[in-house]
Structure 1
Amino acid sequence: MTIQLFQTEAATDAVAHAESILETARQLARLTSVDYAGSVSPSDAWTLFSNGHAQLVDVRTIEECTYVGRVPNSLHVAWQTGTSMSKNPRFLRELEKLVPKDAVLLLLCRSGNRSAAAAAAATAAGFTQVFNVLTGFEGALDGEGHRGGLGGWRFEQLPWVQD
């Protein structure tokens, strides 16, 4: 009986923690007037995703996912495609095929900029719980024009693979 009670308390704590992360992101979004539910750090995104409280959608190009790396078990819907970085005209249709419009979605790109634009577009199309992952997979450029040293998924040493 004690083990079952402990498991129930742990599950309740995990749900409360997830709700706290999302509510904090929503509050900040209201203060900054973004056009989507909010933004979360890579570590908070991992907490939500790894515990099943959200779906992670990588919006980078397939080339970035292949050659730079990707988060295992995440979904992929490119916001832009190819070396020309043309906006993917099928983005919303592809997203709708993968997830319901009321799902908690965490959008991830290279640095957090494209995923913010994709989050705004998804929200405008009726997705109700779309969050941007701040600093993205690789983070911002440093003073020497390199990524990876100023934040991001890999910088925070969160799980990723490279094919």
Structure 2
Amino acid sequence: MLNLEKQYLFYRNYHKNPVNQLLHIYSIPLLVITISIWGSYSGSILDTEWFFLPSEFNITAILCCLYSIYYIILNPWLGLLMTLILWTIQVFSFLAYKAFPNIWILAVIIHIKSWVIQLLGHSIFEKNKPAFLTGFVQSFLMAPLFVLMEVCFAFGFFNGLKSRIEQKAN
């Protein structure tokens, strides 16, 4: 679970089709955002008046901490980048929750549609089952990082990591 290349290759094994990858690049961030919005409804778990962000330390913040620690252990640079992304989502989700108290309804609709998009991607384009049916925890831990890595690789970042992964894949 703590080897980035192995975790990435496990997840990529279920996401080789370029169309399915694009569908995941679109839908996984939406899943992260909708879960973050729902977590805002949990209320503050800790007193955060001392904190400088316009947010609460809620369930989403706990998830951000856990995911951030895991990603930083896997790869410090990718982990820090993902930490920045996750905490940005957490803050804006909280602000959306405060501004639009019924945003959870929209989040439910988007969440369901995002799952449908992913499942159709596996069924139509990938022609295989989703990764979470084989490795539930691995899939939910790796999906957001996989998307970030695919986007970074597409723009020419982390080429050394990409080369190491490609060598291990062959």
TM-score calculated relative to the size of structure 2? 0.26
TM-score calculated relative to the size of structure 1? 0.27
Q: Which has the higher contact order (CA 8 A, sep 6+)?
A: 2
Q: Which has the higher strand share?
A: 1
